[in-house]
Amino acid sequence: MVNKLEKKTLESWLENVKEYACEGKVADYIPALAEQNPEHLAVAIYPLKGECIYAGHSEKCFTLQSISKVISLALALIDNGEDFVFGRVGMEPSGDPFHSIYRLEQHTPSKPLNPMINAGALVVSNMIYGVNAHERVGRLLSFIHEMTDDHSIQVNENVADSEFNSAFLNRSLLYYLKQHDVIKGDVEETLDVYTKQCSVDVNVCQLARIGAVFANEGRDIHSNRQIIPRHYARICKTFMVTCGMYDASGSFAIKVGIPAKSGVSGGVMASLNQFGGIAVYGPALDEKGNSVVGLKLLEILSNRYDLSIF
Ligand code: DON
């Protein structure tokens, strides 16, 4: 049924949900993100078999932000293995906002609860192999190029600089983690890697294709080549279910029921096994930092085609 989904259906859904944009607010704590237009909305579906269908401002690029945490986790697992990664970052949902700091003090030795909150994601960025930030970011970009088969994808340096210059909270998290020996090396270099991974620019079709690789058990959807080991792809999708929407992950699981990850630029990437990847973009966010229109659209899609995994 869902295979018959057409562009005009996606367009009519976008038209129906666009009124919800006024219920949210574009992120402005990273100054460059405040320039986004809340009326720019887009959706793409990349099925495991077939072509990407899309609607809305599908050519518009937006930065991955926290969606990058799923990709960096996959790369850190490939680089270091499961035991090493989860020796430093936990596997439990936090139920806290993404930038929360206070739980770091509640565990001895200090260990961020999971890789989707900022504290955990910063530790993961610190684990990506490379002699310096340039090489680490380069490896992450190559990994994204491999998943999308698109070498044009790059870091949006304007957004990266804007975040790097205003990331006082993330700096605090990093210095705390450094003090407690959870991260190695230079704090500013790790922040550089993290802000650049968050600033990778994609459009909805490129993002949906990344989602499709996770949905395809880590294999490229056209060549079927294994890019991410199956077990690691599963770990990533499990975190998308338990922590992908932060302290809104429970209600999202009930209303939508598809593994998904949001970012403060307004993007959401969803991965549904045996189906494919879905990406939505709508920069107006709710109070938890998730795209208002994105969540609404995913809810409609899930209910219409009975896509919940539960
Ligand atoms: O660390 C930050 O503040 C951002 N670069 C990413 C945060 C984010 O996307 C949270 N997700 N909704």
Measured in Å, residue 284 CA sits from the centre of ligand 1 at: 14
Convert the pLDDT of each residue in 269-305 to its tens digit: 999 999 999 999 999 999 999 999 999 999 999 999 9
62 lines ligand 1 (CB under 6 A): no
Distance 166 CA to ligand 1 centre (A): 12
Domain at 68-198: CATH architecture: Orthogonal Bundle (1.10)
Residue 23's nearest CA partner among 308, 294, 239 is: 294
Q: What is the CA radius of gyration of the chain?
A: 18
Strand positions, DSSP E, the chain: 25-26, 42-47, 53-56, 62-63, 201-202, 260-262, 267-272, 276-281, 284-285
Ligand 1 centroid distance, CA of 288 (Å)? 11
* Domain extent listing, the chain: 2-65+202-304, 68-198
Structure token pair of residue 45: 């579906």
Give the pLDDT confidence of 40-93 residue by residue, as tens digits.
Answer: 999 999 999 989 999 999 999 999 999 999 999 999 999 999 999 999 999 999
| Catalytic residue positions, numbered | 66, 69, 194, 246, 264
- Torsion on CA atoms 223, 229, 234, 239, rounded to nearest 10: -110
Q: Is the CB of 263 under 6 A from ligand 1?
A: yes
Neighbouring CB atoms inside 10 A of 251's CB total 12
Positive or negative, the Cα torsion across 147, 5, 66, 232? negative
Q: Which two tokens stand for residue 240?
A: 């998308």
Q: Which CATH architecture has domain 2-65+202-304?
A: 3-Layer(aba) Sandwich (3.40)
- Candidates 64, 80, 43; CA nearest to 199 is 64
Q: Is the pLDDT of residue 251 over 90?
A: yes
> What's the start-to-end Cα distance of the chain, in Å?
19
Q: Ligand 1: which residue has its CA nearest to atom 7?
A: 66
- Alpha carbons 30 and 165: distance in angstroms, whole number: 9
Band (204; pLDDT cuts 50, 70, 90): very high
